[in-house]
Every structure is written in structure tokens, then in C-alpha cells.
Chain A
Amino acid sequence: MAETAEAKAGSPQRKRLLDTLEVDSRLLGMIGAFVVLCLVFNVFTDGRFLTPRNIFNLSIQTVSVALMATGMVFVIVTRHIDLSVGSLLATCSAVMAMTQTVVTPEWLGLGLNHPLTAPIALLFGLICGTAIGAFNGWLVGYLTIPAFIVTLGGLLVWRNVAWYLTNGQTIGPLDSNFVLLGGINGTLGESASWVVGVIAVVAAILALAAGRRSKKAHDFPVKPLWAEAFLAVVIAAVILGFVATLNAYDVPSNRLERMFEARGETMPEGYSTGYGIPYSVLLLILVAIVMTVVARKTRLGRYIFATGGNPDAAELSGINTRLLTVKVFAIMGFLCALSAAVAAARLTFHSNDIGTLDELRVIAAAVIGGTALAGGIGTIYGAILGALIMQSLQSGMAMVGVDAPFQNIVVGSVLVVAVLVDIIYRKRTGAK
């Protein structure tokens, strides 16, 4: 008797717990799906999936698509689409590759691996990406050509501009500082990673406290203190656990030996150290924070979501929706360039097919992450989680040994099913 009563009380109580914590249940669902996915792969790969090494690889493989997915959220929220991101990535990558292999060493006479090479190349790439994105936005916003058409054209145009810039050649090896952005070639090391982890935890706790203070200042209801504390502990555990995992992936000893040799030292016997947080992952975290602040705390973000919710209302409220479109696509272009730097640096060369089909991965990541194609709804963290789920699915299946055609069949099906689940979820919860 007592058991059944408890079971009956269980479900509403759990709901109340989630309400008290004010956690997005949709986010929890996605995290749950991701965890299940990881555990299943871990079983099928005899524990190889959840090793520090694979988690490290997964995180650096996700960065490129995840960076662009954060921008795609804004594009889709404003009821547009960008099919040209993969091609734009290729053009930016080509511009950066040519800058560091031709422009700086030969035209500027800086030679190879000059400290200024990487910043100059990055700057050129970012300017190029932002300008092309803004141009796309101008075509869409001011000339009112549908974004689908503008970026479908862009898909062909920018892919082949990249080809033209490099004569179709693979350009490499890239500058030794530039490749630090790629992941395995540039990591923080163990101690710096711990410092970053602790800073992140402190920042998260301060953010929670600031939010609570601001609510209290206006006499709004706040969560009970234990709920805040519980959230803080969970966040801290996730951050520090992630750092510990990345630190646990040891640099191979022969690679360490080479590093010591390069500095003219010999490696002490039994010396070992972990990789720590890759610069590219740090970059993604920074971008995610900035984009989230833009989305939630700036007028630009408000206008993006308002325009997506009701373009006429936004226009009548005095928002310049045309200029807004230019800004949204310019942000997308900037992120494509950033993503291009990470992708090229990870490969250590620019290849003609870099970023091929990335537009579909990026859109899929955003959509799996809960961005509604009808506009007005989407989150940055959702898109990043979406990118992570896609990447885990892909590399998990490769590790299990699923045949290549089946991998893509599964990924495609998951995309469709994820959207279906989202539709059902929204209907159930009564949200639009």
C-alpha cells in the first residue's frame, strides 16, 4: 500500500523538483539522450568509447561544426537558412592558407613560422568571412532575395572561389602557430587546465549569485537556497570532471621525447603529462558564452528573437529588420571563418574539399538542438549539444564498425526522428 502511494506521488514530486530547480526539461531530455547514446556505444565498443582519449577526440572533432551551429541558431531563428556555410568555410580557409603560405612569407618577407603570421592570417580570414556573410545578409535583407536561394547560390560560388584561390591544390603545411588552434597540436596542459576549470566554476557561481541578487532587488520569487546550491554543485562537478578527463589523456611518450629534444633537454625517466583543454575547445566555450549573452542579454538578441517570432511586429516596433538580417548573416560569416581556422589547423593543411557537407551538419545540429525552422525558438547550448550528439553518433558508429552507408542512414533518420520527438514534446507541454 505504502509503496503504491509513494509511486503515485513520485511523478508530480519529481516535476515539482524540476520546477524548483528551474531547469529546462527539454535540455534535460537532450542530455539524457546523449548520456544513453554514450553508454550504449561504450558497451558495444567494450569500453573504448568513454575513454579520456576518445572524449578528447570527440570534443575537438565537434568544435568546427558547433562553432557554426551557434551562428546558425540566429539565422534559423530569424526564419532564414544558410546553405553556404561549408563553402564559406572553404573560402575562408583558402584565404587564410594562402595568406600564411604566400602573402606573409613572400610578399611581406616575414619568412616561415613568423610570430605575426598566424594573427595576420586569422585576421584576413575573419574579415573575409564577416564581409561575405554581410553581403549575403544584404542580398537577403535589402534586396529581399530568399535566403534559401542566396545561400544555395553561395554554396556553389564560395566552394569554387576557394578552388580558384588555391588552384585546387592542397595548401600545407600551415604555420606552426596557426595549427595550435586545431586541437591536439595546441592544448593548455594540466595545470593551466585546472586554473581555467576553477575560474569557470567561480564564474558560474558568481553568475548564479548575481541572478539571484537581481531578482531579489525587484522582489521577485527566488529559488530556495538549497536548489541554487545543488545547481552550483552539479555545474562545478561537470566542469571539473571534464577538465579531469581531458587531463587524464596522456601525451604519448615518444611525442613527449620529441618535445624535450626540440628544447635541447632530455626527458626525465617515467615523466608523463596530460593534454588538458585544447585551445579550440576553449574557443568554442568562449564563443558559446558570448553568443548566449548576445541572445539573452542584448538588444540585438532580443530583436533577433522578436523578428523570428513575428517579423511584422518587430518592424512595427521600430526595429530595422533589414539591417538585423545583415548583422545575423555577418555573425554567421565570422563564425564560419573561425570554424575554418579550427578545421584547417586540425588537418594542418587546407584541402579543396574542406567543409564539404558541413552546411547540412550545422543545420542538423541546430535543429536537433531544438531550433525551430518556423523561427523564434532556439538556444545556443542546444545547438552545441546537437553538434556533440551528431559527432558522437558518427564516431561511435565508426568505432563499433557500422558500415559507412548505414552510418549516414542512421544519422539522417536520427535527424528526422529528433524533430518528430521535438514536435510531440512541444504539443504535450503546450508550448508552440
Chain B
Amino acid sequence: MVDRSGTPLVELKDISIAFGGIKAVDHVSVDLYPGEVVGLLGHNGAGKSTLIKCLSGAYRQDSGDVYINGEKATINNPRDARGYNIETIYQTLALADNLDAASNLFLGREIVTPLGLVNESAMEAETRKVMHRLNPNFRKFNAPVSALSGGQRQSVAIARAVYFNARILIMDEPTAALGPAETQMVAEIIGELKRQGIGIFLIDHDVHQVKRLCDRAAVMKNGELVGGVVEVDKVSTDDLLGMIIAGKTPAHLAA
């Protein structure tokens, strides 16, 4: 069970963001505690990715505040987010396909020698260590990531987030492009990260996946939050589907 008595790791308070008159996110508040996985559900265009990009620094909210460990945070770009130990695994994985795993893992944060030159050997050694922990079958250290399978690419993206001591992890549909075995691998990694006390936002379409992996879930429709953040054990998949499709709060929660 997740202990929610302390300060939340992240609080998104009353966030709104509009694109040319269309309210993509409309006064949404979500929080996240250490060691917890909060699922964000909703249709395409419901606003879940937009909401979370305010936390990862890709967008700036029009109104509302972000609190990290109870303190107000200013996140203007992805560099700021990294400063708060927020790491994001994008749906597109955001990997440079022409570079190898080590180059991608350390992109923007390379290990350099005293002369200021990139220390390739050290980076590869570190990559081997972290990949050994996450995905022991990973061997293709010298190939560009374009030559890797979906699961291998996913594990590079996760390794990048994990290696730099993420406290808050955002995963945007991490299993969308994966087969069953690779999905299982990602599920195991998520479990491992939870045990380390990392807070995870998991954006997903699949209600079964959310039931299985998440502690709580927030459903968004047309930019608004449907029925607050619910504990997944207290709702059925049908309830969740009803929230996603009809925007209807389940009767036993609405009461």
C-alpha cells in the first residue's frame, strides 16, 4: 500500500492550457506520492499528454502551479524539469536513431574527460552496467538504436530516465509498440522502480494495463478531469471505460 500521509512528490494544481481558443487542459489537479504509480487515462486529444508536458517542460501552462515536494516549481523547459529529477519517457522514445545506446543514454549529460572531451569508454561501461540491471539480454551496444527492436529501444529510453536518479518518472504509453514479453519486462521494471520510491505517471489507453500497473488513476475527457483521482482497486474496468467514453463518474464514487 502506498503511504499518502506525507507531502506529495508532485502536485499539479489547477492547471489550464489552451491552444488558440481550444482548452486542451481545463483546471486539472493531480497529485503523486513516492512509490506510487498514477495512471492518466483518456481518449486521444483528451489532454493527458498536454497536462503531463507541463511537468516535463515541453509546454508551459497558462495558469495553475506545479509543486514538487511541497515547494512551488518553475519549469520552463526540459532542462528545468531534469533539474527537479523529473525524467520523461516519451511515446516516441525521443531517441536519436543514428547514435548508439550509450550516446543516447548520456545525451545532453555526457561524461567528459578532464580535457573536456567526451569519454566514450566510460559512458559505454556505465551503459553496460545499467542495461545489465534493466535488460540483461541487451547486447547491441555499438549499433545505432535504429537497429534495435521496440523493446530494446524502450529499455534504452527507460535506462536513460533511471540512470540519472529520477525521483519522478513520466511514461507516455510505454507498452504501446511492444509485444507481450516486452510488455511484461516493462511491467517488472515499473514494479522495481516503485520499490525504490520513485513516483510514476503512466499515460495509457489500456484500462486493463492501468488496473494492473497503477495505484490510482485519473481520467480525462475534453481537457477536464472526470471524477477526481480514483483508487484503481475501488473501480472496475467497466467503471473506468464509462469514465473515459461517457465522462460519467461511477455512482458509488459520486455519492
In the bound complex, residues from chain A placing their C-beta under 8 Å from that of B88 are 316
In the bound complex, residues from chain A placing their C-beta under 8 Å from that of B79 are 318
Interface-facing stretch out of B26-34, B43-51, B105-113, B198-206: B105-113
Is there an interface contact between A308 and B117, defined as CB atoms closer than 8 Å? Answer: no
Q: Which of B67-86 contact A (CB under 8 A)?
A: 77-79, 82
In the bound complex, residues from chain B placing their C-beta under 8 Å from that of A432 are 97-98, 144, 146
Candidate in A215, A317, A430 with the most chain B CB atoms within 10 angstroms: A317
Tally of A-B Cβ pairs under 8 angstroms = 89
Q: Does B118 contact A (CB under 8 A)?
A: yes
Q: Does A191 contact B (CB under 8 A)?
A: no
Given A297-B117, A302-B103: A218 in contact with B125 (beta carbons within 8 A): yes
In the bound complex, residues from chain A placing their C-beta under 8 Å from that of B117 are 293, 297-298
Given A315-B78, A318-B82, A430-B147: A302 in contact with B98 (beta carbons within 8 A): no
Is there an interface contact between B108 and A309, defined as CB atoms closer than 8 Å? Answer: no
Is there an interface contact between B107 and A314, defined as CB atoms closer than 8 Å? Answer: yes
Is there an interface contact between B98 and A309, defined as CB atoms closer than 8 Å? Answer: yes
Binary contact track A289-300/B, C-beta < 8 Å → 1, others 0: 000010011110
Q: What DSSP secondary structure best describes chain A's contact surface?
A: helix
Is there an interface contact between B112 and A299, defined as CB atoms closer than 8 Å? Answer: yes
In the bound complex, residues from chain A placing their C-beta under 8 Å from that of B109 are 318
Is there an interface contact between B99 and A309, defined as CB atoms closer than 8 Å? Answer: yes
Given A310-B94, A432-B98: A317 in contact with B121 (beta carbons within 8 A): no
Is there an interface contact between A306 and B96, defined as CB atoms closer than 8 Å? Answer: yes
Binary contact track B112-152/A, C-beta < 8 Å → 1, others 0: 10001110111011000000000000000000101100000
Is there an interface contact between A299 and B121, defined as CB atoms closer than 8 Å? Answer: no
**B80 CB, nearest partner CB in chain A, Å:** 9
Interface bin, chain A: 20 to 34
Given A218-B124, A316-B58, A376-B97: A306 in contact with B107 (beta carbons within 8 A): yes
Is there an interface contact between B96 and A305, defined as CB atoms closer than 8 Å? Answer: yes
Q: Does B95 contact A (CB under 8 A)?
A: yes
Is there an interface contact between A220 and B121, defined as CB atoms closer than 8 Å? Answer: yes
With both beta carbons as reference points, the residue of chain A lying nearest to B117 in the complex is identified as A297
Is there an interface contact between A376 and B96, defined as CB atoms closer than 8 Å? Answer: yes
A314–B58 Cα gap in the complex (Å)? Answer: 12
Q: How many residues of B contact A (CB 8 A)?
A: 34
Given A310-B97, A316-B94, A317-B107: A217 in contact with B121 (beta carbons within 8 A): yes
Q: Does A155 contact B (CB under 8 A)?
A: no
In the bound complex, residues from chain A placing their C-beta under 8 Å from that of B98 are 305, 308-310, 376-377, 432
Is there an interface contact between B144 and A313, defined as CB atoms closer than 8 Å? Answer: no
Q: Does B92 contact A (CB under 8 A)?
A: yes
- Choice from B95, B116, B122, B147 contacting A310 with Cβ under 8 Å: B95
A432–B147 Cα gap in the complex (Å)? Answer: 9
Binary contact track A202-233/B, C-beta < 8 Å → 1, others 0: 00000000000011011010000000000000
In the bound complex, residues from chain A placing their C-beta under 8 Å from that of B144 are 431-432
Q: Does A106 contact B (CB under 8 A)?
A: no
Q: Does A261 contact B (CB under 8 A)?
A: no
**A274 CB, nearest partner CB in chain B, Å:** 37
Q: Does A257 contact B (CB under 8 A)?
A: no
Given A313-B95, A313-B96: A319 in contact with B122 (beta carbons within 8 A): no
In the bound complex, residues from chain A placing their C-beta under 8 Å from that of B90 are 316
**B25 CB, nearest partner CB in chain A, Å:** 19
A319–B57 Cα gap in the complex (Å)? Answer: 13
Given A302-B118, A305-B99: A319 in contact with B107 (beta carbons within 8 A): yes
Q: In the A-B complex, list the 3 residue pairs whose CB atoms are closest, starting with the nearest.
A: A309-B96, A309-B98, A317-B108
Additional pairs, 8, CB under 8 Å, beyond known A310-B98, A313-B104, A315-B78: A218-B125, A297-B117, A302-B110, A303-B108, A309-B98, A316-B88, A376-B98, A432-B97
